[in-house]
Homo-oligomer: A and B are copies of this chain.
Amino acid sequence: MAGVSQTTVSRVLSGASSVSTETRARVLAAIEQVNYAPNHSARAMRTRRSGTVGIVVARLTNPFYPELLEALNRALSAQGLRMILWDAELLGEEPAVDAIRAGLVDGIMFTTVVRDSPAVRAAFDGGAPIVIVNRPAPDLPCDQVASANGAGGRRIAKYLFHNGRRRFGVLVGPGDVDTSTEREDGFRAGLSELGVAPDDVVRIEGDFTHASGYAGLVELMSRPEPPDAVFCVNDLIALGALDAARVLGVAVPGQLWVAGYDNIEMASWAAYDLTTAEQPKQAMADAAVELLRARMADPTRALEMRRFPPVLQVRGSTAGRAESGAPAVA
């Protein structure tokens, strides 16, 4: 090399300790010349830090997830961290959990439902740095970031009612997924506070897909007294519902109002123009990274659950009617 010890090279690379200006220059020149790059594994082995965070996703076909992924990538990059991606549908959550123990990643984030399993349970109980984003899981002991789903559902209920809607449909996801149940429960609670009878809220369970929303709306509209407003627990379902309305010839918003949840990019496109509860994805991603780093720094700190209030985006699928506008007659 260029006349100095390994130690010194390490020092100029880390920048932590002091090195004479002249030596530093000499080392830098040598590095440049040899095109030297420090070995990641060796460094990770010594420091016990990989600089990498595991992200567990599923259903990338729901545009919400790529959008969240971009936000997470931005938040991680800002902290000099990188992400390794696992698809829970392909492999389950075991590989991610194992990766923590193997030192492959410093921590992981789940953006999906976390199925309980011995390995998963052991990781949580062992206090591994894990954050759950987007899907609240009250019974799992880890830091969490989620939308204030209940408040969001309630807000949409009030918005629809105050604008004259009286017969409601709600298109929900699988019965055991908290994002869906929280939004639905909030919605129903909001309506019930306004005096709407439970019978005037028709519920159809499906999954978080376009196809499910499509089928759900077809079913709703085939009822003797079809609803005049439908709340879909996510945007993808709502887009499916709007497509079904289009095919059935149901006028939106003339005959039916539709609202979603998430505010994915497509919700704003002319074909849909969907009123929806926006999740502040970047803020949520930033919070998730912050919580993960805090946990890594102090494994004993108290668990935190951060809820982000959604912002109502009013668009054409509810006639663009202002949230606080005077009640209109249906």
| Bitwise interface map of A from 40 to 59 toward B, beta carbon under 8 Å scored 1, else 0 | 11101100001010000000
Cα distance A270–B248 in the bound complex, in angstroms = 11
Question: Is the CB of A109 closer than 8 A to any CB of chain B?
Answer: no
Taking a contact as CB atoms under 8 Å apart, the answer to whether A73 and B102 are in contact is: no
Known: A84-B82, A270-B244. A61 touches B50 (CB 8 A): no
Segment touching B, from A20-28, A93-101, A170-178, A321-329: A93-101
For the complex, is A160 an interface residue (Cβ under 8 Å from B)? no
Q: Which of A31-39, A135-143, A226-234 contacts B (4 or more CB under 8 A)?
A: A31-39
Q: A35-B122, A45-B39 are in contact. Are A210 and B269 (CB under 8 A)?
A: yes
B contact residues around A102 at 8 Å (CB): 37-40
User: Do residues A66 and B60 form an inter-chain contact, with CB atoms below 8 A?
Assistant: yes
| Contact of A37 with B98 at beta-carbon distance under 8 Å, contacts A85-B73, A86-B82, A270-B214 already known | yes
Complex-state Cα separation, A70 to B90, whole angstroms: 10
Residues of chain B within 8 A (CB-CB) of A164 are: none
Contact of A246 among B38, B101, B239, B271 (CB under 8 A): B271
Contacts of A246 in B (CB 8 A): 270-271
Tell me whether B90 and A73 are in contact (CB under 8 A): yes
Residues of B with C-beta under 8 A to A39: 45, 102-103
Interface, chain A (partner B; CB < 8 A): 35, 37-42, 44-45, 50, 52, 60-61, 63, 65-67, 69-70, 73-74, 77, 82-87, 90-91, 95, 98-99, 101-104, 122, 210, 214, 239-240, 242-244, 246-247, 265-266, 269-272
